[in-house]
Amino acid sequence: MKHALCVACCCTLLAGSAEAGRSVRYALVVGNDFGRTPPGVVLPELKHAEEEATRLRERLVRLGNFDPSPERTVLLAGKSREAILQAARKVAEQHKADRAALGEVPTLFAFFFTGHGLSGQLLTATEPLTGPDLAAIFNEMGATFTVGVFDACFSGSLDLKALAAKGMTPMPGFNAFEALPQEVIDAQGTMWFVSSRPDQVSYEDERLGGVFTHFFMEAMERAPRAGFGVTLEEVWEYARAETQRYTSNATRPQTPQKLIRNLTSTGPLYFSFPSTRSAVLELEANVAGRFLLRYESGQLSELVVKEAGRPLTVPVYPTELVLERLGGGGQQHLVLRDRDAVRISDAQGWSAQGGLGSRHSMLAAKGERLEGLVLTREETAWSGLVDVGYQASWGPTKSEIPTHGLGAGFRLDRGLWQGRIGYALGHRAEELSTWSYSVQRHSLDLSLGPAMSWSRWRLAATLGASVAWNRVAFDDGERHTDLSWGMAARAEVLWRVLKGPMPLHLCLRTGLLAERSKPVAPADADEAWTLAPQLMLGIATELF
C-alpha cells in the first residue's frame, strides 16, 4: 500500500539565521517509489511518490511559510529507514535549539511520507518505519501540535478510468489508529487525517498521483478561506470532498477520515497562506533587536532580526498581530489594514514628520507598549512648501518667452496630489540683422497633478495654466505692453537633503510651455501659438 503521511503542527520561529519577517515551520518530507517488502510479497514500484514529495516540499515553502533551509524543511527521496530517523533527530535538535533561544512559543512539526505501506508499517529502501519509530519521532520533537494525514494506495499502476487495482488483492496497510501507540494518538494537540476507511483502498492515479495527497496540496491554494490564510480544517474539508467526488465518479469510493485530540488553542490553525502580504513594517536604521510577530491567536509566528545601521522593511499580512521584543522589551497589539505601512522608530529624537503630503501618527496601544520604541502609521496630511529658483526657457526667435528668469512659488501636497501657484520674473533680449528688442515679463501660473513619495524623493507630473504681462522695448525707443496666456505640462523631482523643523529640498522641474501671444513686431502675423521647453532648478523648504 502507498501512504502519504503528513504531520503538521503550528509554526515556530527561528533564531539567527532565519530571514527577517519569515516564519519557520519544521518539516520532514519523505517520498519512496520503491518499498522493500518481506519475503514472498511483491509490490510494484510507484510512479508518483518521490515526485509528489518534491512538489509538496515546494508548496510548503511557497504557501505554508516553511523555512526553505535544509535544516528545517528536509526532503528525503528513496532513502532508508536509518536516513529518515537520522534526519528526524537533526530536525528535533534544531527545534530544541530554537526553543531555547525563543522561549515557549507554539511550534509546528510536519512529517510527510508518500510511498508503500504494509501491515502497519511504512516501507523504505531498507527496513520499514514502524509505529514506534514514528512515535519516537513525534515525542523527540516535542511540538505543540501534531497532525497526521495518511494516504494509502496499494498499487502504483492503476487504470485511470476505473482507478482499479488491476486484480490485485488489497493487503493490510498502515492504519494510524492501530499502528501508532495510544499515547501518540491521544497526545495534546494531535490531529490525524486518513485518506480512507480501514476497509477501503486509497489510490494512486496515473494522472494525479496519490488522490488524497493531490487534493491536499491543491487545497493549500484553492480551498475557500475566511481569514488571512487557509486553516487546516479548510484544507481537510476541501481534500475530503474532492477525494470523495473524484473516486466516486470512478466507482471506487474513497472516504477520508479525521481524528482530533486535545486542542487547547481557541484560534484558527492556519496551514497555508496564498494571500499577499500587502502591509509592511518599516524598522528605521537606529532600531535594533529581535522581534517576534504573532498573528491573531499565535497560530503563525515570525522572527524579525534587526541590526542597527540600516533600515529594514518586513512584508506582513493585513490582520491582527502582536509585536513582541524578545528579551523583555514589551509587546504591542496591532491591527493592520491592506496597504498599511507601520514605522518602528527609536523614541529618542522621534518626530511626526513624514513624506510630503503625509505625516506619521502614533498608534494607540492596547495594554503593553514596546519599550523605547514608537510605532506610527503614515496618514494623509497637508504639506505646504515655498520654493525659489532659476528658470530657463528656449522660445523661438522673435518671441516674448523669456530666456532667463527667477521664480518663486507656493505648493500644497496632500497624499497623491500636488498643487502649485507660482510667480516668475523673466527677461529676453535679441539683436536681429536690422533691429533689436528686449522683454521684461511678469507671469503667474497655476498647476495641479498627481505626485508620489518614495523615501526622500517626491515625484510629480502636473498640468498648468499661466498668464503673463509682457513689456517690450525696441532699440528705436518704442515700447508696448501686452498679455499672453498659455498651458504647460511639467515633471518635477524633489529631493530632501536636510531634515529638521524646516526641511530643505532640492527641486528640478522640466516641461513644455504652449503659449498664445501677439507677435513682437507689429508687422508680423497675428496672434499665434508658440512652443518652448523649460527647465527650473531651485530649493524649497516646508512651512508645515
Q: Reduced to 3 states, what is the DSSP secondary structure of residue 243?
A: helix
If asked whether residues 139 and 198 sit together in one domain, one would say yes
Q: What is the pLDDT averaged over residues 52-60?
A: 92
pLDDT reported for residue 171: 41
Q: How many residues does the chain have?
A: 544
Co-location of 345 and 225 in the same domain: no
Question: Which DSSP string corresponds to 160-228?
Answer: TTT---TTPPP-----HHHHS-HHHHTSTTEEEEESS-TTS---EETTTEEHHHHHHHHHHHHS--SSS
- Regarding whether 134 and 196 lie in a shared domain, the answer is yes
343 lies in the same domain as 291:
yes
| 289 in the same domain as 150 | no
How confident is the model over 112-119, as a mean pLDDT?
78
User: Do residues 243 and 105 share a domain?
Assistant: yes
Residues 347 and 476 reside in one and the same domain: no
Please indicate, yes or no, whether residues 374 and 321 belong to a single structural domain of this protein. yes
Q: How many domains does the chain have?
A: 3
Nearest-angstrom CA–CA distance, 163 and 196: 14
C-alpha cell at 494: 524633489
Predicted confidence (pLDDT) at residue 1 exceeds the cutoff of 50: no
Rounded to 5 degrees, what are φ and ψ at 6?
-120, 120
Cα separation, 117 vs 154, whole angstroms? 8
pLDDT, tens digit, 9 for 90 and up, residues 21-37 = 445 688 999 998 887 87
Position with higher pLDDT, 494 vs 358: 494
Q: What is the pLDDT of residue 216?
A: 92
Same domain flag for 188 and 318: no
Per-residue pLDDT averaged across 181-186, rounded? 55
Question: Does this model's pTM top 0.75?
Answer: no
Contact predicate 92/140, CB 8 Å: yes
453 within 8 A of 358, measured Cβ to Cβ? yes
- pLDDT score recorded for residue 444: 97
Domain shared by 329 and 462, yes or no: no
339 and 256 share one domain: no
Question: What is the domain extent for residue 468?
Answer: 382-542
Q: Which tops the pLDDT comparison, 422 or 332?
A: 422
Q: Residue 414: CB partners within 8 Å, gap ≥ 6?
A: 357, 380, 381, 382, 383
State which amino acid sits at residue 258: K
CATH number at residue 537: 2.40.160.20
Q: Are 224 and 80 within one domain? A: yes
Share of the chain above pLDDT 90, in %: 35
- Greatest Cα pair distance, the chain, in angstroms, is 121
Could you report the per-residue pLDDT of 124-171, keeping only the tens digit for each? 899 988 878 888 888 888 887 777 777 755 432 223 232 333 223 344
Asked if residue 187 has pLDDT above 60, the reply is no
pLDDT (0 to 100) of residue 24: 64
